[in-house]
Amino acid sequence: MSADFDVRHTAHLARLELSEAEAAKFQSQLSQILSYVEQLKEVDVSGVDPTAQTAHTVNVFRQDAEREWFTSEQALANAPRQANHLFIVPKVIE
């Protein structure tokens, strides 16, 4: 896997612009990290069910009840631009 790792693709997905030097540096560093993590493949997990959780529990729910939190003034307090209670961002092309 580490050999297939393409830092340019990952940078594009993260919307990061990398210089040639940065690309080379991160390609090598991130590849090393991946190789390190790959050591996990040596563990025998044939008797273990795959999971994405370690909490060993399920169903942590809320009841469907509403509560107030921010007013729109509070929600917009840190907005660089706002108008008519809306966050204003550069025009988005659909």
Contact positions vs other proteins (CB under 8 A): 13, 15, 52-53, 55, 57-72, 75-76, 81, 83-92, 94
Tell me, rounded to whole angstroms, the distance of Cα 57 from its chain centroid: 24
Kindly tell me which of 40 and 70 has the beta carbon lying closer to other proteins. 70
Asked if residues 19 and 7 have their Cβ atoms less than 8 Å apart, the reply is: no
User: Least separation, in Å, of the C-beta of 76 and other proteins?
Assistant: 6
Sign of CA dihedral 48, 51, 55, 59: negative
Kindly tell me which of 36 and 87 has the beta carbon lying closer to other proteins. 87
Kindly tell me which of 25 and 85 has the beta carbon lying closer to other proteins. 85
Asked if residues 27 and 10 have their Cβ atoms less than 8 Å apart, the reply is: no
Number of neighbouring beta carbons within 10 Å of residue 33: 11
